[in-house]
Structure 1
Amino acid sequence: MSTTERPRILVVGGGYVGLYAARRILKKMRYAEATVTVVDPRSYMTYQPFLPEAAAGSISPRHVVVPLRRVVRGAEVLTGRVTTIDQDRKVATIAPLVGEAYELPFDYLVISMGAVSRTFPIPGLAEQGIGMKGIEEAIGLRNHVLEQLDKADSTTDEEVRRKALTFVFVGGGFAGAETIGEVEDMARDAAKYYQNVSREDMRFVLVDAADKILPEVGPKLGQYGKEHLESRGIEIYLETSMDSCVDGHVVLKNGLEVDSNTIVWTAGVKPNPALARFGLPLGPRGHVDCNEKLQVNGMDYVWAAGDNAQVPDMVGRRAGNPNAWCPPNAQHALRQAKVLGDNVVAGMRGFPQKEYSHANKGAVAGLGLHKGVAMIVMGKVKIKLKGRLAWYMHRGYHGMAMPTFNRKIRVFADWTLGMFLKREVVSLGAMETPREEFYEAAKPAPAPAAPAQEKAKAS
């Protein structure tokens, strides 16, 4: 960490908003006008809309992440966590990956911590559940599913086999529907290489407490998505929640009970709970309370955007809805980050700041290879697409939204290769414990037994 007498702009979080806001500030700033410091526990940003495709092996996991130090050159990147912020002193406490925590003074603050999985106190969930918020979880899920096929293929125990081939997904929004669609696709392809496992042996279950799936694309496309997944043999239970999953025994509110080694939790997100320690005004659901200029209410040196911010939707409010708020999605995060970056520089110079206003452009979702739904909004016209064309829209939109030209090329290269080569179905689960085999080979020998005469002396 360098020391400087220049004003410091502290960006807390290196996700979508943090990355783009830092880049924008660096671009708009004059040379040596301020120091930009980005703090995040990871040294990379994850493009979350591609996690289902990474879990299915359609995209290399390395291509779904963007290294912060490479992309925000000119900024300090600190790998660690901001644990508390003293707003009176304008000092943040940083807990680095190793070593003692230390204080870091700042002059301007950007809060871009994103969201974490929203969970409930369900017995067994912490021990059995698999999330889908990070690339590590996507890789882990892929390896885990393929390992279950390996187990089922090699066992003669019918109960073990049935549990290995049952996959339960909780949450029917974008993350849940896309993940189960992609993973089912991968498992169907992988089953072709197993002698004792077929798709008919597998059981996929999708559970949601709401009365529909994919609410982001509207009721008609959501119903199409439900019917499409069901046509692939996926069981969908709506207006149903999970009561418990202790030791993989899943009990649903509707009375259904199944045993499964794979329980994937995608039932929504909530703002990062660390925000409560930052001395900021929070909304009723824990989001940072912002105005239309992305400035935190009552604090002229703090800005926030993305999933951790409560930002007024000015388009909806002008249309007569005084309670309209921007939804937490990549479409808004990208645009908010650019306005936020401009406003930080304007605020630092004492210039007027811009209002954030963006009309919804629609939503796209992929449900596996060549399958998807899309709703494109053009003015007052809504174009609804499904099937292969919607899948092309999904890939095209997210491919272009992927940060940096470097990563765009890599993602499109993965997709192009996938048109000509078969999907990889290799499990690399041993990567999670890479030293285990070496430890078994090199573990310390037991201490030699004491000679007989020494034993006699001792007695």
Structure 2
Amino acid sequence: MPQNSTAPRILIVGGGYAGFYTAWKLEKHLRKGEADVTMVDPLPYMTYQPFLPEVAAGSIEPRHAVVAHRRHLKRTTVITAKVTGIDHANKVATISPSAGEPYEFAYDQIVVTAGAVSRTFPIPGIADNAIGLKTIEEAVAVRDKLLSNFDKAASIPAGPERDRLLSVVVVGGGFAGIEAFAELRSLASALVAKYPQISFEDTHFHLIEAMGRIMPEVSLKTSEWVLKDLAKRGANVHLDTQVTGAVDGNVELSTGEVIPTDLIVWTAGVMANPTVVRGGDLPVEERGRIQTRADLRVGTAEEPVEGAWAAGDVSAVPDLSGGGVGGYCVPNAQHAVRQAKRLAKNLVAVLRGETTKDYVHKNLGAVAGLGLYDGVFQSGNLALKGFVAWVAHRGYHGLAMPTWERKWRVLWGWWNNLWLGRDIVNLEAVQQPRDVFEEFAARPRPAAAAPAAPAEKAAPAAPAEKAAPAEKAAPVAEKPKAEKSAVAKAEKPAAAKKKAPAKKKVDADA
């Protein structure tokens, strides 16, 4: 949407769940020319994060799990850059593009939906060897790493290095960790049939959880069923266990056990995007999230911050249903999407001088995929397990994927996989796309060094009265023979006549 000087400017910081849905719904609710909407995000797409485990397992094409901003936001100005500063006192944000200098952007209303990033701890080796599962790039890298390790392991004899390549460690037993762990275990089990050199017993999967149980979002009985189901598939779950080190891929546990591995997936929690939270002057609560009211305006119940809104994982929104942890909505897609829809309506209401409504949403339940044809679903006291829960998982997320264009791509991929099997093409080399080109590219040869000129012997300095004649002081370059003869004849008389004056000149100069 082109900006003009009269319409209010709305700046949306972040293009994930909450940001994308806020912009999408603002386009629906705003009248033409009622406001200028700008969305800033370093990525040109929204990632549907519940699909990341299936992307890592090869069950969903990576591009189908993201939504292009510019394709589906018709009247929103999309800027692919980072917001590195928010000066709300003056209603100015600093935008830092990947190319070019940072610049300031003036706004009237700001919506902070910058999401969350992986939360890690200062454990030796984790920053250097582990990988998260918050982005589509990470999911693709995990898939390709596992496939590449199978390729390498199949070509070497049994031994420590082979065991290391076929060992996977997932840290974190929440929903994200369990789904990633189960999907990767499912992929590895399917790969064994394609590699006759590798048996099921050669693969080793370990889940590390610091608490005494997994999946706190479901009942204890349901979580225990998941543990038994994973154990049947050869998975090792370490409860009440912490990672104390991961130097050189050797995962050290608080129990003293050491697991050598080439793939460590970190899913042990998230934190609000620190670049946005720390780079602004909006109020922040003790857990590092932006303090947000129930109507999704920034501030407290008694004192809202005029012109500032927040939603999604970056915000601390009160859970009026009473089901939140610590009284706040938990950071998940279910809340982010619904908060964005309410925020868009409330923002339009404020622009029109109307009243806002509080965000109230009772958690509908939790559903997780545990690999092909296996899953778990919990809603209140109702628990579904196995194939029925897997169908519920795919049905819910297939419908929740924004835009029909994206829904059809995902559904079509699932249908193809049903008959053709999951895609196990390994494209790890795409992460270094110029390697082959550089290896065989012709390069100019280094210039040959010029031969060194022979050094001239320095003549001893002569007294002034014995100085060399002028003709020898500055030798003239040799001329071709024909030219030399003609020149000599022409110059001979003149040289003879000027011989005496030349001698005087040299003496005078000396």
- TM-score range (shorter-chain normalised) is over 0.9
1: distance between equivalents of 2:421 and 2:325?
A: 51
- Does 2:376 align with 1:373? yes
For 2:278, the equivalent position in structure 1 comes to 276
1:376 to partner: Cα distance: 2.3
1:106 to partner: Cα distance: 0.3
Kindly name which structure, 1 or 2, has the bigger radius of gyration based on alpha carbons.
Answer: 2
- Does 2:4 align with 1:4? yes
Q: Secondary structure at the match of 2:237?
A: strand
1: distance between equivalents of 2:3 and 2:404?
A: 32
For 1:350, the equivalent position in structure 2 comes to 353
- Does 2:38 align with 1:72? no
For 2:494, the equivalent position in structure 1 comes to none
1: distance between equivalents of 2:8 and 2:383?
A: 49
For 2:179, the equivalent position in structure 1 comes to 178
For 2:314, the equivalent position in structure 1 comes to 308
1:300 to partner: Cα distance: 2.1
1: distance between equivalents of 2:207 and 2:442?
A: 44
For 1:294, the equivalent position in structure 2 comes to 296
- Does 2:203 align with 1:202? yes
From the superposition, tell whether residues 455 and 144 of structure 1 become closer, same or farther in structure 2 (CA, over 3 Å).
Answer: farther
Preserved CA contact (<8 Å) 1:17 1:112: yes
For 2:327, the equivalent position in structure 1 comes to 324
For 2:83, the equivalent position in structure 1 comes to 82
Q: Secondary structure at the match of 1:85?
A: strand
Alignment of 1:405-416 (within 5 A): 405-416=404-415
1:349 to partner: Cα distance: 1.7
Q: Report the AA paired with residue 307 of structure 2.
A: Y
Q: Secondary structure at the match of 2:56?
A: helix
2: distance between equivalents of 1:161 and 1:196?
A: 11
Preserved CA contact (<8 Å) 1:170 1:206: yes
Q: Percent identity?
A: 47
For 1:147, the equivalent position in structure 2 comes to 148
2: distance between equivalents of 1:188 and 1:157?
A: 18
Q: Which moved more, 1:39-48 or 1:123-132?
A: 123-132
Preserved CA contact (<8 Å) 1:214 1:225: no
1:301 to partner: Cα distance: 0.9
- Does 2:258 align with 1:257? yes
What are the superposed Cα offsets for residues 39-59 of structure 1, whole Å, 9 maximum, x if unpaired?
A: 000000000000000111111
Q: 1:335 aligns with which of 335, 338, 342?
A: 338
1:218 to partner: Cα distance: 1.9
1:72 to partner: Cα distance: 1.2
2: distance between equivalents of 1:404 and 1:2?
A: 24
1:444 to partner: Cα distance: 2.5
Preserved CA contact (<8 Å) 2:2 2:36: no
Q: Report the AA paired with residue 303 of structure 1.
A: W
For 2:364, the equivalent position in structure 1 comes to 361
What are the superposed Cα offsets for residues 350-381 of structure 1, whole Å, 9 maximum, x if unpaired?
A: 2100111111110000110011110124xxxx
1:210 to partner: Cα distance: 1.1
1:443 to partner: Cα distance: 5.3
Q: Secondary structure at the match of 1:347?
A: helix
Q: Which moved more, 1:441-450 or 1:10-19?
A: 441-450
Q: Report the AA paired with residue 266 of structure 2.
A: W
What are the superposed Cα offsets for residues 418-437 of structure 1, whole Å, 9 maximum, x if unpaired?
A: 11112222211101011110
RMSD of aligned alpha carbons: 1.7
For 1:238, the equivalent position in structure 2 comes to 239
2: distance between equivalents of 1:156 and 1:448?
A: 48
From the superposition, tell whether residues 324 and 435 of structure 1 become closer, same or farther in structure 2 (CA, over 3 Å).
Answer: same
For 2:52, the equivalent position in structure 1 comes to 51
Preserved CA contact (<8 Å) 2:26 2:344: yes
1: distance between equivalents of 2:327 and 2:168?
A: 37
2: distance between equivalents of 1:187 and 1:432?
A: 22
From the superposition, tell whether residues 413 and 326 of structure 1 become closer, same or farther in structure 2 (CA, over 3 Å).
Answer: same
1: distance between equivalents of 2:295 and 2:140?
A: 38
2: distance between equivalents of 1:194 and 1:456?
A: 69
2: distance between equivalents of 1:150 and 1:443?
A: 31
1:63 to partner: Cα distance: 0.5
1:178 to partner: Cα distance: 0.5
Structure 1 runs of 4+ aligned residues shifted over 4 Å read 455-458
1:273 to partner: Cα distance: 0.7
1: distance between equivalents of 2:34 and 2:262?
A: 54
1: distance between equivalents of 2:350 and 2:257?
A: 56
Q: Secondary structure at the match of 2:85?
A: strand
Tell me the matched-pair count.
Answer: 450
From the superposition, tell whether residues 363 and 455 of structure 1 become closer, same or farther in structure 2 (CA, over 3 Å).
Answer: farther
1: distance between equivalents of 2:77 and 2:162?
A: 51
Q: Report the AA paired with residue 446 of structure 2.
A: A
Q: Report the AA paired with residue 278 of structure 1.
A: G
Q: Report the AA paired with residue 4 of structure 2.
A: T
1: distance between equivalents of 2:386 and 2:298?
A: 42
Q: Report the AA paired with residue 190 of structure 2.
A: D
Alignment of 1:433-448 (within 5 A): 433-442=432-441, 444-448=443-447
- Does 2:409 align with 1:403? no
Preserved CA contact (<8 Å) 2:367 2:375: yes
- TM-score (norm. length: structure 1): 0.95
1: distance between equivalents of 2:452 and 2:147?
A: 55
From the superposition, tell whether residues 343 and 443 of structure 1 become closer, same or farther in structure 2 (CA, over 3 Å).
Answer: farther
Preserved CA contact (<8 Å) 1:240 1:252: yes
What are the superposed Cα offsets for residues 177-233 of structure 1, whole Å, 9 maximum, x if unpaired?
A: 101111111111112111311221011000011111111122111111111111111
Q: Report the AA paired with residue 341 of structure 1.
A: A
Q: Report the AA paired with residue 179 of structure 1.
A: A
